[in-house]
Each structure stands twice: as structure tokens, then as C-alpha cells.
Amino acid sequence: MTTGSIKRLVRDRGFGFISGDDGQEYFFHRGGLDSSLDFDALTGGERVSFEVERGEKGLRARGVRIAA
């Protein structure tokens, strides 16, 4: 699992970016959130953990959930 913080949200398009503790930036889509997270309740800055996959346009986070 990788950890980081929600960096930026693009609410009207349903996606955002996570600044990983490893220095990488990860794209995520609201569909990539764990069922315990509500995209509309995110404000930015939340500490999260997630799995990484390589998408067409770069690194993508999936299974995003609040970090323990």
C-alpha cells in the first residue's frame, strides 16, 4: 500500500490527485474510492492509502481509503 494526501479535487469532473509520500502524484477517479469514502465529502488534505496501477496517462490510485 502507498500513502499520501489528497492534493486537489476536480469536483465537477469527479476526479482528483493525491500527493504520495514517495514524491509521486497519483490521479484518482471517484470510482476508485473504497466504499468507506464519499467523494463529495472530501475537502483536500485527507491522509489516504491506496494501491497503484499504471493507466494510459500515468500512475493511477485505486482502492483509496483513509490511512490508518
Instruction: Select from 2.40.50.140, 1.10.357.10, 3.30.420.10, 3.20.20.120 the CATH code of 2-66.
Output: 2.40.50.140
- Rounded Cα gap, residues 37 and 57, in angstroms: 24
SS3 at position 23: coil
CB 62 within 8 A of CB 56: no
- In the chain, where are the structural domains located? 2-66
Q: Tell me the per-residue pLDDT of 1-51, one tens digit each, with 9 for 90 and over.
A: 899 999 999 999 999 999 999 999 999 999 999 998 999 999 999 999 999
pTM: 0.92
Give CA angle at 14 (67, 23), nearest 5°.
Answer: 45
